[in-house]
Amino acid sequence: MTLDKSYFVYILASKKRGTLYTGFSGGLPVRVYQHKMGETQGFTSLYKVKRLVYYEHYNDPETAIRREKQIKKWNRAWKIRLIEQHNPDWNELYVNGEIRALPKE
């Protein structure tokens, strides 16, 4: 997967159906690595939310930011449904510094 000039909305989880975090990034592999290493102070490091379980790709930052804000307003059940539609086993999508493709629906 080519990640150049791309923008992402992503969801991290502490474990299957655990604590969730929704974020935005222009460099998904680097950002997920920062979460995993605890380099981001705050919610994700405090609650050990490090597992990439879902993401969406966008070509422009404005659309991605709007989507991030939309998902952040959702209730927990909607976020879980979104994840499980695309990644029913909550597999880790960041492996050895690479972002895996979401399983096919």
Q: Determine contact, residues 67/54, Cβ cutoff 8 Å.
A: no
Q: Quick one: fold of 7-99? A: GIY-YIG endonuclease (3.40.1440)
Q: Report which of 23, 82, 83, 75 is spatially closest to residue 53, judged by C-alpha positions.
A: 83
Residue-range domain boundaries for the chain: 7-99
Give mean pLDDT, residues 73-98: 97
Euclidean distance between CA atoms 32 and 30, whole angstroms? 6
Sign of CA dihedral 61, 67, 82, 59: negative
Q: Look at residue 88 and tell me whether its pLDDT is greater than 60.
A: yes
pLDDT digits (tens, 9 = 90+) for 9-53: 999 999 999 999 999 999 999 999 999 999 988 999 999 999 999
Read off the pTM. Answer: 0.92
Q: What is the mean pLDDT of the chain?
A: 93
